[in-house]
Structure 1
């Protein structure tokens, strides 16, 4: 995404707020052991169980004609009618530029920033993790990520320079003709995976970074 972005924070800064919010909702964290190929299915089940008492709104979101494909403006317009946005759980901001993008602040996830852009036939959803300099041994960390990324359904970890600083990001992509429910699922899955990755990869981070989580 090439458009200018608001200031972003390392994902470790969002974890504490996220955990506190989950506890306030009466939720508890449970670790489970499953085969890697079931990771995506488990993520969907977990979300449905957590949202059981809330009107998720996804089945009632406006749809986009399959032949038209999504644009950033169309996605924003549709999301503004979703219950998660109406209830203040997600804030939206359009970042103008040669390639407009959408900035989503995920308040349920410690105000995590997620960025969405449309290019060609793809919708790209992305979030910032942490600077490379926050990792004790980048080579060892990179090798570990390559061997464990299958446990993060629908998301991939990459590296890019943001504001001239090399950092890790997590992203997912889907077709521009996907249903809005799938777009929303991609966004929420990415947010979930950022939190999970921050927990799972904490041992690779410098002590000062870990203390922020």
Structure 2
């Protein structure tokens, strides 16, 4: 996807996210789990947040897609716009027009983290910018650690991508079928947002803070 306009790194949104949680009276607790239990912990964490929980059950979303029917950008925009995710102001959404149109989704519950969603080759791809490659202290060591710890972030993958201005950036993305239920797409948006925040916390020692915007 080539349409990432936002230049702020994920560290900025992490700070916004932490501030929002503090304002809601929440506190941070560190836990140690097996990697295969990361998805279960994510679900439990959402329940324990109470106020910051999105307060709706994704399974209750209106899943109008028929079997094997593929979403278009315009149809998915309308479905998300009508969902509780947007109606309750947990996120806002807009269409970015172009040859390959995509959705720009701002996740307000995650420090206004911007996500970009595109549909191509029967797949829905959702991605978020992490940080520029050139602010990582030791890229080789960092890349190796990403490979060792990739199971900590369920349903998400970290990659390097060249943006329109030629710069290299780490991104995090998730992929699912273009015929997925709306509830599954919303779950992907929330999971990716949560993983971006957790990845920023997990890898912050590798980032040169002085080079952040």
Query: Given the two structures, how large is their TM-score scaled by the length of structure 1?
Result: 0.92
Residue 71 of structure 1, CA deviation: 1.9
Change (3 A) 1:159 1:5: closer
Partner of 2:59: 59
The answer to whether the 8 Å contact 1:57/1:84 transfers is no
Show CA shifts across 1:14-33 (max 9, x none): 11110111112222222211
Moved more, 152-161 or 71-80: 71-80
How far, CA to CA, are the matches of 1:54 and 1:175 in structure 2? 24
How far, CA to CA, are the matches of 2:108 and 2:192 in structure 1? 14
2:147 paired with 1:156: no
How far, CA to CA, are the matches of 1:54 and 1:101 in structure 2? 24
The answer to whether the 8 Å contact 1:72/1:117 transfers is yes
Partner of 2:194: 192
Change (3 A) 1:54 1:35: closer
Partner of 1:68: 69
The answer to whether the 8 Å contact 1:61/1:81 transfers is no
SS at match of 1:186: helix
How many pairs align? 210
Query: Given the two structures, how large is their TM-score scaled by the length of structure 2?
Result: 0.92
The answer to whether the 8 Å contact 2:54/2:85 transfers is no
Partner of 2:139: 138
How far, CA to CA, are the matches of 1:69 and 1:55 in structure 2? 28
Show CA shifts across 1:60-117 (max 9, x none): 3221222212222121111111222112221111111111110101111111110111
Partner of 1:15: 14
The answer to whether the 8 Å contact 1:172/1:190 transfers is yes
Moved more, 143-152 or 22-31: 22-31
Structure 1 unaligned runs (5+)? none
SS at match of 1:26: coil
The answer to whether the 8 Å contact 1:95/1:102 transfers is yes
Partner of 2:95: 94
The answer to whether the 8 Å contact 2:54/2:90 transfers is no
Tell me the C-alpha RMSD between the 2 structures: 1.7
